[in-house]
Amino acid sequence: MLSLKWCECSCTEILLIAALGLIVNIFSIKLLDPHTHNDLNLQGVFLHVIADPVSCLSVIIAALLVQRQLQFIHKRSHLIHKQLQFIHERSFFLLTHPFHITDYSF
């Protein structure tokens, strides 16, 4: 069966951390918005904080896509495992029970 041991963290953890980052960034935007009108430094910080939720959203979308793809791979690997097991059983039977054309009378 196909092993997915290379995936060390779950998509749920990634989604939770990205959602937490999104909430913190939205809170930061709400806090900074009234104070950025006359200060150029705060305007730069505000623009940076606006860009952060976009990256959080892209991480959330990527985690959802990876989670869906892993489920698809897991379903397919289970089917492939069953097919390989079937082939193995049939080939073992053919190897242990050879038949000859002379065994059958026409």
The pTM (predicted TM-score) of the whole model is 0.55
Q: Does 102 fall in a domain?
A: no
Average pLDDT over residues 74-84: 73
Q: Does 1 fall in a domain?
A: no
Instruction: List the structure tokens of 19.
Output: 């959602």
Q: Does 90 fall in a domain?
A: yes
Q: Does 101 fall in a domain?
A: no
Q: Does 64 fall in a domain?
A: yes
Number of domains the chain is built from = 1
Instruction: Tell me which DSSP letter residue 103 carries.
Output: G
Q: Which domain holds residue 79?
A: 11-96
Query: Mean pLDDT score of the chain, rounded to an integer?
Result: 77
Amino acid at residue number 97: H
Q: Does 55 fall in a domain?
A: yes
Residues 25, 99: Cα–Cα separation, whole Å: 73
Residues 83, 42: Cα–Cα separation, whole Å: 62
pLDDT tens digits, 16-32: 988 999 999 889 888 88
Q: Does 5 fall in a domain?
A: no
- What are the angstrom distances between the C-alpha of 103 and each of 25, 98, 99, 106? 79, 11, 7, 10
Q: Does 22 fall in a domain?
A: yes
